[in-house]
Amino acid sequence: MEKYNKLVSNKTRDRLKSKFKVCRNGPTNSYTVSSPIGNIVITSCPKGLHTVGQADDVTDENFHPESNITVKLIGQQWSDNGYTYKPALLCIDWIKVYFINPKETLKTSLPPFCSCISSVSGSYREKVWKTLAEQVPVGSTISYGELAKLTGNPHASQAVGSAMRNNPIQLLVPCHRVVRSNGSLGLYSNGTRNKVKEWLLMHEGISDFKKM
């Protein structure tokens, strides 16, 4: 495997360091995985995932998906004698399935998420992420208002938007399936990766959205 520092930009490393405090479940490690949409960085502790997301250098300007790229582990921050946390391995397996045939993820269990991804256990933001991951399957989209209704709080569209902007688990918590009520995409990753969102939706067989 290539050295982690060569695979991950300084910006990505700094973001991962500042994302969470020391996890009470044990030390974290970051893993870099190749994929058709560019390298994906997974951060995990022994108990669950902390973050899953594209490397920070991926933007609309340089996004060039390559469907022939195989999903595989290509680097990790700490070697630790080659040991890889089980949640990270399960995540890599899930991502492999997603890029081969996204509908097969309906039969694939999500890897565990670390409880530290939410600052307060049982918070509304955590409820939004859980609802989205469990009730908005591959091949479907949902508006911010509809997702708010699913969580039992129909007037919380803005809070849903905040949860999407702060979603730490890309793909598995599918914020790319959340669109505006008029069918337009909204601003994926603060508007820097709208082409990525388009590609993901089309990969899942969805084309009835308004392109940017």
State mean pLDDT over 175-201.
93
Q: Please check the confidence at residue 81 and state whether its pLDDT lies above 60.
A: no
The set of residues, in sequence order, having a beta carbon less than 8 Å from that of 187 and lying 6+ positions away, is 194
pLDDT at 15: 52
- The catalytic residues are 175
State mean pLDDT over 20-40.
86
pLDDT at 146: 97
Q: Which CATH number fits domain 119-203: 1.10.10.10, 3.40.50.1370, 3.40.50.620, 3.10.20.30?
A: 1.10.10.10
Check: CB of residue 166 under 8 Å from CB of residue 20.
Answer: no
pLDDT at 5: 55
pLDDT at 82: 60
Which residue ranges make up each domain of the chain? 4-107, 119-203
Percent of the chain with pLDDT over 70: 84
78 falls in which pLDDT band (50, 70, 90)? confident
> From CA 110, how far away is CA 117, in angstroms rounded?
15
Residue with tokens 């974290």: 28
> From CA 114, how far away is CA 183, in angstroms rounded?
33
pLDDT at 20: 47
pLDDT at 23: 82
Question: What pLDDT digit, counting tens, does each position of 167-187 carry?
Answer: 999 999 999 999 999 888 889
Give strand ranges (E) for 101-189.
142-143, 178-179
Question: For residue 169, which of 97, 95, 108, 104 has the smallest C-alpha distance?
Answer: 95
State mean pLDDT over 74-86.
79
Question: What pLDDT digit, counting tens, does each position of 102-150 carry?
Answer: 999 999 999 999 988 876 556 899 999 999 999 999 999 999 999 999 9
Greater confidence (198 vs 122) lies with 198
pLDDT at 18: 45
State mean pLDDT over 58-68.
93
